Amino acid sequence: MNVVYILCMRQLKRYVRARTRIIGSLGQPLLFFLALGFGFGRTYEKAGEGNYIQFLAPGIISMGILFTAMFSGIEIIWDRQFGFLKETLVAPVPRFQIVLGRTLGGTAVAMVQGIIVFFVCLIAGFRVENAALLPVALIFMFLIAILFTAVGTVVGSLLEDMQAFPLIMNFLVMPLFFFSGALFPLNDVPKVLRIAINFNPMSYGVDGLRGALSHGFHFGLGTDFVVLGILSTILLLLGSYFFSKIQL
């Protein structure tokens, strides 16, 4: 398992060195949090739904994790073009270990990003309602990160054009985020929207994180955990399969 550790640490070192990447990836979640949280906060409160900052923050934390996790897949295309991937693939280790190492590295980076957004939300006024559930929140952050890092790995393994990757990622990321219940309550939504939300894996991550940090669970703790766990396993196996088919 040495290759898993090496690839995981390589991802983390890349992230730490790319300071502009850290700042840039924080921009969109913070923009959403500040603009929507303080812009619609009074309206949300008048509607009798309570404090919008408390509701919105878990969704924004999930957003920070989602974006960072999904875009980690572009490093596969980058490494393919600049030769590092060839050196990795000729190593006498199973391809699954390579994928696992890359995925865990991307997961760790996404979790760090989510934790940074979490602390920014605390500064902006968000408060954890039950500190005893913080470990549960970290578990859901990990599940969100590993699931969508695996999605990024699948897409990165299938594509060779670096310019096409961001376009496809945006096509996937924005619907995943907007139809997850991150920005609005899931009670009394239209039937069509409810169907989209129920089939969106991000919905269960947002719900799990929100239930652990502030409001209660909409789908249920067990449902959120099982759905994310099963999908993470499936996507990790799919990522390993498509990665093994890469032709250099």
Q: What is the mean pLDDT of the chain?
A: 82
Question: Residue 46: what pLDDT?
Answer: 76
Cα separation of 57 and 192, whole Å?
Answer: 25
- Residue 10, pLDDT > 70, answer no
- Residue 161, pLDDT > 80, answer no
Listed range (13-27, 50-64, 185-199, 210-224) with the worst mean pLDDT = 13-27
- The percent of residues in the chain predicted with pLDDT above 70, rounded, is 81
Closest CA to 117 of 168, 76, 56, 175: 56
Question: Residue 93: what pLDDT?
Answer: 67
- Residue 88, pLDDT > 80, answer no
More confidently predicted of 16 and 116: 116
Scan for tokens 């093994």, then name that residue. 244
- Residue 201, pLDDT > 90, answer yes
Q: Does residue 190 contact residue 108 with C-beta atoms inside 8 Å?
A: no
Cα separation of 191 and 88, whole Å?
Answer: 48
Q: Is the dihedral of CA 120, 129, 34, 148 positive or negative?
A: positive
Q: Where are the domains of the chain?
A: 2-244
Question: Residue 89: what pLDDT?
Answer: 64
Listed range (63-67, 151-155, 241-245) with the worst mean pLDDT = 241-245
pLDDT-derived band at 212, boundaries 50, 70, 90: very high
- The percent of residues in the chain predicted with pLDDT above 90, rounded, is 23
In degrees rounded to 5, what are phi and psi of residue 83?
Answer: 95, -15
pLDDT-derived band at 207, boundaries 50, 70, 90: very high
Tens-digit pLDDT profile for residues 149-158: 988 888 887 8
Q: For residue 157, what are the contacts with CB-CB under 8 A and spacing of at least 6?
A: 73, 76, 239, 242, 243, 245, 246
Question: Token digits for 118?
Answer: 């979490």
Residue 39's CB is within 10 A of a number of other CB atoms, namely 11
Cα separation of 244 and 236, whole Å?
Answer: 12
- Rounded average pLDDT over 65-79: 79
pLDDT-derived band at 24, boundaries 50, 70, 90: low
Cα separation of 244 and 37, whole Å?
Answer: 44
- Rounded average pLDDT over 192-211: 92
* pTM of model > 0.85: yes
- Residue 85, pLDDT > 80, answer no
- Residue 81, pLDDT > 80, answer no
